[in-house]
Amino acid sequence: MTRVSFYILKTAQLEERQAFACRLAEKAYHQGHQVYIHTSSAEHSELLDEAIWAIRPDSFVPHEIVSDISNNSPVLIGHEDKKPPRLMDVLINMTDEQPLFFSQFERVAEIIDERDESKKAGRERFQFYKQRGYELDTFHV
């Protein structure tokens, strides 16, 4: 069954939330996982694509935005409300709703920041997963 981890950030800065997602993707990649980062729009996907390049000068995380041409990287970024193009084991959700396809992943990371809308949406997702019996973890970062 899918395990869901909530990461509660002590910031309201969207850039900090994005940076945390990039570091989480980097860590999962280095542990040998296939990672899918789900964003809210094409623009948000582009921002994350650029942010992953800038994580750290000594780091390299092979990644790409999901396209019709190639989806071979271990880290994919997508924004459409459909399943990733292949099976992957870690989902980093950067949207305010749980994706319809979340249960195909072994792990789901939900990143919540200090903005009121983020906290409210996070509480709703937490209740959604809890009511359906998913294993939940919460980490204060």
Paired strand residues for 110: 6, 93
pTM of the model: 0.95
User: How far separated are the first and last CA of the chain, in Å rounded?
Assistant: 25
Q: Give residue 69's pLDDT.
A: 76
* Average pLDDT estimate for 54-82: 87
Domain 3-140 homologous superfamily, CATH: DNA polymerase III subunit chi (3.40.50.10110)
Query: Which of these ranges, 11-20, 46-55, 78-87, 96-105, has the smallest mean pLDDT?
Result: 78-87
Mean residue pLDDT of the chain comes to 94
Q: How confident is the model at residue 14 (pLDDT cuts 50, 70, 90)?
A: confident
Tell me the two tokens of residue 125.
């997702």
Residue 135 confidence class, pLDDT cut points 50, 70, 90: very high
Indicate the domain borders of the chain.
3-140
